[in-house]
Structure 1
Amino acid sequence: MHMLVRQLALVALLSTVSLTAAQAQKKLKYPKGPAASEIYDAVQKPAVPVGGLPAYASYLERNQQYPTQALRNGKDGTVNVTFVVEKTGVISNVAVQQPLDPALDAEAVRLIKGGPKWTPAEHKGGKVRQRVTVPISYMLPLGAGGPAPAVVDDQPTKPPVGTNGAPAPTVVTPEQPARPVGGTDAFFEWIQKNQRYPAQARQRKVEGRVPVEFLIQKDGSLTDVKLAGKRLGSGLDEEALRLIKAAPKWAPAQFQGQPVKQKMVLPVIFQL
């Protein structure tokens, strides 16, 4: 009887050992891969935009638009957009992490959704879904909304300043900033319609933004036009100056019910 019990126990033990070894062999031979639906934040090989990060940054810069409503309200800042790069390279679940402004948030989402596909992430030998966050920054052009300075007049209402004793103009914060007649969208539409892409720049495939500074006079005319940033060359700088000099009048800034001068810096965008 005792011998039979020991034999049965030995059979059971051998069966257990055999089953455990089979399971271990199966686990070793067929490793468990990443879960099909799992979204990773950190991976061995992160997802990257097709064409590379410099090309993606160039896409964002060329296609970013500053919403008219945000300009009017003097809104700026950074919108962090999070999304999932799927195993196919398409993006999904696009959302704003912390809302900044409705117009800026919507534009940032539009920009990300309209972007190129991505090369999917890889982890533990397979393609996986990865969560990515891209910051979209908006910086108000000088004078475009908010507490931008304006000049009431050129008569000395303050003590003289400078070594030459020149009178200081009165500088104030306008109650109503200068605006393009018809709105910002209409102004940039006029720029695009009247833009003459220089042949040299087209041949060299040069594109980008040319910041132009100008003064909006009390009658709405644009004067003192000059470049305000990095030159692009190939005739683009000269074309940007020509466009602003020929642009329609603006509605001047207002202070205490009177028109005042105001400085502005806006980019002229060139895109092939």
Structure 2
Amino acid sequence: MRKINLMAGLVALFFVHLTAQNEQPGIDTTIFKVVEQMPRFPGCEQLDTTLDVKNQCAQASLLSFMYSNIRYPLEARQNGNEGTVVLGFVVEKDGFISNPHIVKDIGGGCGEEALRVLQGMNDALARANLRWVPALREGKPVRMQYILPVRFKLEEPLPYVMVGVDTVYVEFEDSLSFNGGPEALAAFLQKKLKYPADWVDSCRVGNMDVKVLVQPGGLVKVLDVSDYFDLGMDFQFEAIQASTATFGQWKPATYEGRKVPATYDFTVEFLPPADQCPQAVSDYEKAEKLAAEGLDLFNQGDTENGIAKLGEAIELFPRNANYRYLRGQAYMSLERLSEACTDFQIVKDVMSITLVDNLLPIICKEN
């Protein structure tokens, strides 16, 4: 998929003025193309500076308005439409714009999209109590014709994203890998992971998903720990300790022949001694198997039986966020919103994540 970059340019026409047809007596309908002072997009009038600087600021603000509101049409992306759409409009004496229209189009819905944004400009500015500064001719406000080129250009995406202050590559020639492969990683983590001594008698059991960032030099940073079983901070600390202990054990990812930072996801399990907590270990193994079977049923399209399997797993671990989230998604697919609401509220309570924040007001509105 390619990213989108929009660049707009602003051009005023500089020749003779036009006189509109069908003039009404006493009303000046002249549209000028040559003026003493150009109209300005609002937002820069508070600057205590020269007129040229205000004009530059206004142009940048106009480009920002267009850029932040235009969305590259899907048809244009799919067809590879690129080029410059040219729009025309009149800046009226009262600071509003009129007669927005397409002068030149490139197809794929680009002209319509640029025009949509332009047509909404008056309302958008009015909501902020703003208007254009009209053009001046002989010291008086006049109507002026504007031409606005808007460039649509598709660009290849960057091979990396920013996660906070960290650069994370998402495209590679060679992916990040642990020396010896996934089995070696699992064995290493099992050796390094410690069950918190203060919790042995509690028989707490469960797993966590860990996301690490591995730098080219081997440094390992934990970006996220998903504590689905709500084991708590002591267990999370041990998961982080074991994860960062993998320093120097990775084969870095590469891009264009050089080593680059990349992420890796894995799961760590906390199991108390089986002889001390046989029931807890047995319940955990049974619940994980039931959840896996439920997920397989979902993938096969058997949602009802998948929900039943997850329900059995949830009976064993009522506050497991992963089981609840999977079942909540299944309930949503069946439009059983009340039940989905219950599951997602527990997910939010256990993990304090924003993943379901946008869903809760919708699916829980009647609860």
**More helix per residue:** 2
Which structure ranks higher in relative contact order (CA pairs < 8 Å, sequence separation ≥ 6)? 1
Q: Same fold (TM over 0.5)?
A: no
Please indicate the TM-score interval, normalised by the length of the shorter structure. 0.3 to 0.5
The two structures have a TM-score, normalised by structure 1, of 0.40
